[in-house]
Structure 1
Amino acid sequence: MNKILIITHTADNFSIEKVTEYVADNNCEVIRFDVDLYPLENKLSTIFQDGEWISILETPSAKYRLDDISAVWYRRAYNIGKGLKEEMDTKFFGAAMGEIRNTLFGFLESIDAYSLGKPSVYRRLDSKEEQLKLAHKIGLSVPETCLTNNPEEAKKFILKHQNVVAKMQTGFAIYEDGVENVVFTNVVKEDKFEELDSLLYCPMQFQQMIEKKRELRVTIVGRDVYAFEVDSQQFEDAKVDWRKDGVNLLDKWTKTELPKDVEEKLLELLDIYNVDYGAIDIIVSPEDQYYFIEINAAGEFFWLDNLTEGNMISRSIADVLCDKAPRRNNVVLA
């Protein structure tokens, strides 16, 4: 029986259970590695002796060989080393976390099997600049964009385009009194020019504001394309960034079809990156022009999966992991 390793954490959502169920339907076994239990509860060892490499994962409930897995799904790596700070001398904590992360990610990079996502792939897809350049190169429409830490360049861009939004390139959040405050996409007005001087300390991405007829979330798994749309303009808080009022929009998404040329270009984009999963954000203008905004290497999909008959996105993920559906070959060590 083929073994599928899923890298996640204990607080992940129900998508793990659904994919696990469909993996079992394909007569494969799931090994779940919750990284927030590493290293205090999960023990990971890689050993080379007698001419053989062996990897062992020991969890509170079982012990697994990982060197013979057939595929891995790198889903999430949140809260690595949870609880460790309270267990050790503070002066050693930073150095220990460096070793922990390096060991874990080094193991994930070295797995000699098909991988649906890898830390190095996620790092590459963190580059919004490369995404936009590649999307433009293959013929997708992208908003006019300025990435800068130069206040004067930002001001010139804003004055030229008038309607401009500012966004961060990461999951940027400010923590105050233990509360996480996510920085959403916001409209930039000329009366805020004085605030742009802070770009000297932290660069930002500015984009021409595209008037929205619809917003799309396109989830691609292998060659399967699942496109959903929403009218984000029906709620005031969602007009600029739908995530800001995402809860009210949860049941407003509907399945849609992409123009054939747009679908083909999105598949080409995944071919270029050699990845089998991407959650892509698109804006459709009143003129029905499709603007590529970004691709998320590990973007959430489960709220859309629940809108498909039989959780088809989860089933596609399971089929790709079990080699029951076309996938891009990415076994580097083979």
Structure 2
Amino acid sequence: MIKIITESKDRVSDEVIEYLLAKGVSFKRINSDIFSSFSETISKADYVNGEIIWHRRAFRRLNPSEIQKYPFIYNLLDEEDVVNKFIEKKNCFKNTIYYGGYVEESQHNKLYDLYLANKFGLKVPSTLITNVKSELKAFKQIHNKIITKPIKDLIRFRSENYIYSSPGTFLIEEKHFNLLEEHFAISIFQEYIEKDIEIRVFYFDGFFFSMAIFSQNDEKTKIDFRNYNFEKQNRFIPFKLDKVIKKKIKKFLKYKKINTCSIDLILTPENEFVFLEINPQGQFGWLSKNCNYFIEKFIAQKLIFDNERISK
């Protein structure tokens, strides 16, 4: 049986399912944003059965929506989190082929990823994590041009009429130092690395789908292509990753026990690859469309192949 854990509005999941329907393959879709009933018995009678699970997005919603308004909801969400992690770990232990997952996404640590990537031979930007102004000044004196960005996610909050969001990646200038006390909120800072192109990679079970992003042609996206210019899109083309860099990434992901994710890299004017980050449940639909990779079809075929193999 093929199971797909995703969100009701996830377009790439829809397209993968369209291929499954076209081939007449049975599957079960679990939308994480819709409540689903769940029961599990742990006993000596537990048996091993084969399943193919693609955990595309988020996690299973196990608390009824009515509970969301309760004052103690955060305690219940913590318990829901434990059950979701149990489901995934149990399925990975059984005779199950499991792509993606919730555990790595929920505890994803970009700082540790930088540390590990460096240990596996990938070049990473010199990075400072600090809450001390004097340390930051010393770091800037060494690297001259430095950037900051969220350690985890963008900060967003809603008022009555507006939605506010933090600016993403930006250069640190002298004016920013004037706004800081000697101690401030813990933050991340990195040396700014000149880019020839930015590279977005989608990885699935040993296969790489890579795209070059010509972000340097636009002042708005020059620091980071995710500072999108919606009026004038960057140019995207397919890109073939070097065998050496692919080998290093595979070792890194194998150590982390990740079999699918999105990866951000830089290619410098000196033709060096620099690792920036991975996103365990990162988007890939735009990469697939811009480069005509038909990743959705590839995933569907992989799920079908594995399902037939495990059913024999």
Counterpart of 1:160 (choices 138, 142, 148) is: 142
Q: After the TM superposition, which residues 1-334 of structure 1 pair with which residues of structure 2 at under 5 Å, given as runs?
A: 3-12=1-10, 14-24=11-21, 28-38=25-35, 42-48=36-42, 51-52=45-46, 68=49, 70-77=51-58, 80=61, 84=65, 90-111=70-91, 112=94, 113-123=96-106, 126-177=108-159, 179-197=163-181, 200=184, 202-245=185-228, 247=230, 252-309=235-292, 311-324=293-306
Q: Counterpart of 1:56?
A: none
Q: Which amino acid aligns with 2:18?
A: E
1:170–1:80: structure 2 CA closer, same or farther, 3 Å change rule?
farther
1:27–1:83: structure 2 CA closer, same or farther, 3 Å change rule?
closer
Q: How many residues were matched structurally?
A: 302
- SS of the equivalent of 1:135 reads helix
* Structure 2 Cα separation of the partners of residues 69 and 195 of structure 1: 58
Q: Which amino acid aligns with 1:184?
A: G
Shift, 1:266, TM fit: 1.7
1:235–1:198: structure 2 CA closer, same or farther, 3 Å change rule?
farther
Q: Which amino acid aligns with 1:106?
A: F
1:24-44 CA distance string (max 9 Å, x none): 567642211112112xxx211
- SS of the equivalent of 1:227 reads strand
CA contact (8 A) 2:261 2:280 kept: yes
1:248–1:216: structure 2 CA closer, same or farther, 3 Å change rule?
farther
Shift, 1:103, TM fit: 2.6
* Structure 2 Cα separation of the partners of residues 20 and 69 of structure 1: 20
1:79-115 CA distance string (max 9 Å, x none): 947983x567633433333333333333233223221
* Structure 1 Cα separation of the partners of residues 280 and 69 of structure 2: 36
Shift, 1:171, TM fit: 1.6
- SS of the equivalent of 1:36 reads coil
Shift, 1:242, TM fit: 1.0
CA contact (8 A) 1:232 1:249 kept: no
Q: Which amino acid aligns with 1:45?
A: S
**Structure 1 gaps, min length 5:** 54-66, 326-334
- SS of the equivalent of 2:290 reads coil
Shift, 1:307, TM fit: 2.8
* Structure 1 Cα separation of the partners of residues 80 and 118 of structure 2: 39
After TM superposition, the score normalised by the length of structure 2 is: 0.85
After TM superposition, the score normalised by the length of structure 1 is: 0.80
Percent identity between the two aligned chains? 25
1:320–1:88: structure 2 CA closer, same or farther, 3 Å change rule?
closer
1:81–1:247: structure 2 CA closer, same or farther, 3 Å change rule?
farther
**Structure 2 gaps, min length 5:** 308-312
* Structure 1 Cα separation of the partners of residues 232 and 123 of structure 2: 26
CA contact (8 A) 2:201 2:209 kept: yes
1:312–1:269: structure 2 CA closer, same or farther, 3 Å change rule?
farther
1:231-289 CA distance string (max 9 Å, x none): 10222221112112164565721001122212222222222222211211111112222
